[in-house]
Structure formats: structure tokens, C-alpha cells
Amino acid sequence: MTSEVLFAGLGLAEPLLRAVSDAGYTHPTPIQAQAIPLVLSGGDLLATAQTGTGKTAGFTLPVLHRLNTTQPARQPAAGRPRCLILTPTRELAAQVEESVRTYGKHVPLTSLVMFGGVNINPQIAALRRRVDILVATPGRLLDHVGQKTLDLSGIEILVLDEADRMLDMGFIRDIRKILALLPAKRQNLLFSATFSDEIRELADGLLDNPGRVDVARRNTASELVQQSVHLIGQKQKRELLAHLVKKHDWRQVLVFTRTKHGANRLAEYLGKQGIPSAAIHGNKSQNARIRALTDFKEGTLPVLVATDIAARGLDIDQLPQVVNFELPNVPEDYVHRIGRTGRAGSAGAAVSLVDGEELKLLGAIERLIKRPIERVTIDDFVPAPISDSAPPAPAHRQQPPRGNRGPRPGQGALQERNRGQARNGARPAQRGNGRAAPQHKKNG
Ligand code: AMP
């Protein structure tokens, strides 16, 4: 993921290069090598890049450079930031602001993160001081505008991070309201993992002759990640999951469920089976989410159960193991989910637990990734009989419902056994990610 270009050749000021070096990075990633000079030149930017490409430093570093080396458009004042970074989720906002502090630690600029779901008063108090860079989710930002605690008339640089997620999550009206509050003369940077018609429309209205950076979509996840499917009834899934975690001694596994309720129930069940687990979703308090994420990253919490929405924007990738407890309704989400593993050459595996009702979804996923996913059976797993339905067939004889039978092109072979299981049990590649950011912090 790195290139032969050095950070030192990109035009960044010395205090920023020092912070990059402190963080342990020598070579920019491809998006950094391309985006940093473009942003430094002052023009607008349209970048297609996913989480994991180094995009955050790709905009944070040149933004810090520009703010530090140019005169403010308006006299700096309390609650009147010069740069606004909008993100779809609270977690992403916290992570981006953490990056701002990491890379801005040797320059005298201040940053603030604000998002909903937490008390607004500390944010109001923080806005009584000087804030150069504001990282925010759209809803809470508009709350502050409504309360007149925030003045957007000094914004010189606007960054929309994960713009496609913001649109997916229905933030387009909020974004338009915010755009209407910004000075017309400003630099705009738009980052998106995908380039859809909606993004094109947003970009057309927002960006002036933008520089383009395209980092190839990481569809290659489907090639790098060792994927398998267990065909199993919905009711036996949780037992099979507990069995797999114990059998392979999985120490860091991200489990996706479709609903918040399902995430809660599953985490509770696993806890009762002696597997420490936490659920992470929109109904959890911010503190609970941050605690779960920190424990998970540090390796003290082996299982994190998440909905797709909650998992978006989380800086957790390079995981050894992802489990799809249910398949996502949208095939592209499968690629996003498994893209959390197997990054940068590290071993990764994705296991999907699929019941008869999900076979159509499985077919759609296989068409998208253009390959069959291996069906695997577990010889030593015998599900407990279920009282309110017919006893299940032993797992090793499990078959999909009639009409879906047999290995067919695009469906994979049904009875292949346990290939790759040893790899599934690989120890996690630990990452030294920091904790979520506090609300306000002075840099430099
Ligand atoms: P991002 O895509 O911004 O979420 O970054 C993904 C991960 O890459 C983060 O954990 C960064 O700390 C890390 N990273 C950013 N820049 C570099 C770099 N130049 N070399 C190696 N890792 C990096």
C-alpha cells in the first residue's frame, strides 16, 4: 500500500513531517501521495477511496499545512472554525479528530469533535474557545447552528468524509442546509468509497474543477480473504458460532448481525457461554460504544457484535476473523464486511452462517464477487435439538432446501469439508489503535 515517494517530497511543512515520522510512517500511501499535493495547491478535490487506504492523513495533513501557513479569511474568534470536516458517524468523527491531533501536535492549531448522543453543554463550553478545525456529524452541527453557539462564516476548507455513507444514512438535506451556511469562497474536498450517480450530483454542485484521485476499490478483498459458508438453520447459528469461537480460539472476531436487537441477544448468549462479547449499535450510549471498541482493539474483548450501520466508519480493519451471522441484504455490504480482514497481506477469514432463507442473498453475493464461496461443514458440531421444530439434520449432512440443491456454477460445492480451518484459527494481527478522542484538545 505504500509507494516509493517519501513524505518529505510532498511539500508538507517540517512540523507536519515530524508528526508523521513520530507516528512511524515514512512512505505515503497512494492516496496520500496523490491527494496531498493537490490539496496543498488550494484546489477542490474529489477522491474515491475507502477506509484503510490512509485517506484520513491524506486530507488532514495538507489541511493542517494550509491553515498553519495562510492568514485566516476572518479574524479568528471563539466558536468560528476555519475548517469543517463532516463525517457520517460519531466513531468516524472521533477517529478523524484523533488524527487531526496526531498530525497537528507540532502546530499551534486547535480542534474540536462534536456529535449527537452526548450532552451538548461541554461542546457549547468548548466553542467558547478558539477552534480551528471542527470535526462533526451533520445533525449535532445543525443543533449548534440553531442555538447560535457555532459560527460557520469563517470556514475556508470543507471536507466531506465518506460522503456516500452520509447519503446512505439520509444526511443529504442536512448537508445542503450546512452548505448554505458556508462562505462561497472556500476549498472543498469530497471523499467517498464509491462513485454513484448521487455522489456525482453532489460533487457537481459542490466542487469547482476538482482534482481527481481514484484509489482502486478494494474488491480484491474477495480474493484475499479466505471465505466460507456454513449452511445452518437460523436457530442453531448462535450455538455454532460459540462452537467455532471456542474450537479455533478466536481472539478478535467481528460478528455482523442484521438488527440491533439481534446483536444484543447474540452478545448476551455468547457471554453466557463464557465468551466475553459486546454489542455495538446506535442504541448504545456513546460511552458504551467507545469502551467496547477500545477493549476489542486492545484484545481484551474477543467478540464484537455489530450492525452494518454501527460498523461503518470504525477504524477496525486488518482483523483476523469476520463472521456474518446473517448475510446483508445488499451484496456490496458483504464486500465491505469482509474487507475488514486480510488487509495489507495479513491473513484474514470470513465465515458466513447461512440458512435456507438466505440462499438467494448468497447467490447475489457470489455473482457480485464472481466466484463461488466454499461450503464447509463441521464434523464435531451437533446442534442441540430444538423444541419448536423438527430436529435438525446433523450438520455434516446439511443440505439447502429443495430447488437450491447441488453444486451449481456460482453456488460452490456443498460437501467440501473444513478446508482452511487451521488458517481460520490464526492469531489476530494486533493493531495499536488509540482510544476514542476526548471532546476538546489543544494542539501544539
Ligand atoms: P484510513 O484509511 O485513513 O482510515 O487509515 C487506515 C490506517 O492506515 C490507519 O490506521 C492509519 O494510521 C494508517 N496509515 C495512514 N497513513 C499511513 C502510512 N503512510 N503508512 C502506513 N500506515 C498508514
Within 10 Å of residue 277's Cβ, how many Cβ atoms?
25
Residue 205 CA to ligand 1 centre (angstroms) = 30
Considering only CA atoms, which residue is closest to atom 8 of ligand 1?
Answer: 54
Q: Which helix (H) or strand (E) holds 178?
A: helix 172-180
Query: b/e map of 179-202 (b: 16 or more CB within 10 Å)?
Result: beebeeebbbbbbbbbbeeebeeb
Q: Is the CB of 318 under 6 A from ligand 1?
A: no
Q: Is the CB of 424 under 6 A from ligand 1?
A: no
- Given a cut of 50, whether residue 424 has pLDDT beyond it is no
**286 pLDDT higher than 50:** yes
Alpha carbon of 407 to ligand 1 centroid (Å): 41
pLDDT, residue 255, reads 96
pLDDT at 130: 95
Closest residue (by CA) to atom 6 of ligand 1? 52
pLDDT recorded at residue 220: 56
Closest ligand 1 atom to 95 CA = 4
Ligand 1 near 313 CB (within 6 A):
no
- Is any ligand 1 atom within 6 A of the Cβ of residue 162? no
The residue written with cell numbers 444484543 in the block is 264
Gyration radius from the chain CA atoms: 23
Average pLDDT over residues 352-362: 96
Q: What pLDDT is recorded for position 1?
A: 44
Asked if residue 2 has pLDDT above 80, the reply is: no
Contacts of 396 (CB under 8 A, 6+ apart): 377, 378, 379, 417
Residue 204's Cα: distance from chain center in Å? Answer: 26
55 lines ligand 1 (CB under 6 A): yes
Q: Does the Cβ of 226 fall within 6 Å of ligand 1?
A: no
pLDDT at residue 118 in the model: 93
- Site to probe by mutation for ligand 1, drawn from 56, 96, 430 as the one with most ligand atoms within 8 Å of Cβ, is 56
pLDDT bucket at 285, cuts 50 / 70 / 90: confident
Q: Is the pLDDT of residue 346 over 70?
A: no
Dihedral (Cα; 432, 438, 443, 444), 10-degree rounding: -70
pLDDT tens digit sequence for 190-224: 999 888 888 999 999 999 999 999 886 544 566 67
Q: How many CA atoms lie within 13 A of 141 on its CB side?
A: 28
Residue 74 to residue 436: CA distance in whole angstroms: 31
Question: Nearest C-alpha to atom 13 of ligand 1 is from which residue?
Answer: 54
Fold observed for domain 225-404? Rossmann fold (3.40.50)
Residues of the chain with CATH 3.40.50.300: 2-214, 225-404
Tens-digit pLDDT profile for residues 362-408:
999 998 887 889 999 887 777 766 554 434 434 333 333 333 333 33
Render the burial of 254-266: b for 16+ CB within 10 Å, e for the rest.
bbbbeebebbbeb
57 lines ligand 1 (CB under 6 A): yes
Quote the cell numbers at residue 321: 476473523
- What is the rounded average pLDDT of the residues 254-266? 94
Q: How crowded is residue 267: how many other Cβ atoms within 10 Å of its Cβ?
A: 23
Sign of CA dihedral 86, 89, 92, 93: positive
What is the β-pairing status of strands 303-306 and 253-256? parallel
Measured CA to CA in angstroms, residue 415 lies from 114, 223, 316, 409 at distances of 51, 22, 33, 15
CATH code that applies to domain 2-214: 3.40.50.300
pLDDT at 415 (0 to 100):
29
Helix ranges (H only) for 41-146 are 55-69, 90-103, 121-126, 138-146
Please give the average per-residue pLDDT across 26-51, as a whole number: 93
* Tens digit of each residue's pLDDT (9 = 90 or more) over 400-409: 333 333 333 3
337 Cβ neighbours under 8 A, 6+ residues apart: 256, 308, 311, 322, 324, 328, 350
The stretch 83-104 carries a mean pLDDT of: 96
Q: What does pLDDT average to over the chain?
A: 83
The finding on whether 28 has its CB within 6 A of some atom of ligand 1 is yes
Cβ pair 353, 398 in contact under 8 A:
no
Range from 123-127, 169-173, 281-285, 402-406 carrying the lowest mean pLDDT: 402-406
Q: Is the CB of 58 under 6 A from ligand 1?
A: no
Q: Please tell me the least confidently modeled range out of 248-257, 297-306, 343-352.
A: 343-352
Q: What is the three-class DSSP state of 127?
A: coil
Determine the average pLDDT of the residues in 58-68. Answer: 98
Share of the chain above pLDDT 90, in %: 60
Confidence of residue 317 (pLDDT cuts 50, 70, 90): low
Name the packing angle between helices 90-103 and 14-22 (round to 10°). 120
pLDDT at 310: 76
Query: Is residue 440 predicted with pLDDT exceeding 60?
Result: no
- Is 29 near ligand 1, meaning CB less than 6 Å away? yes
> 84: which strand partners?
134, 158
Cα 77 to ligand 1 centre (Å): 32
Pocket perturbation via mutation, ligand 1, pick of 21, 25, 55, 297 by most ligand atoms within 8 A of CB: 25
* Residue nearest atom 17 of ligand 1, based on CA coordinates: 54
Q: Whose CA is nearest to atom 14 of ligand 1?
A: 54
Q: Residue 92: CB partners within 8 Å, gap ≥ 6?
A: 161, 162, 312, 313, 314, 315
Is the Cβ atom of 340 under 6 angstroms away from ligand 1? Answer: no
User: Is the shortest distance between the CB of 30 and ligand 1 below 6 Å?
Assistant: no
**DSSP 8-state symbol, 216:** P
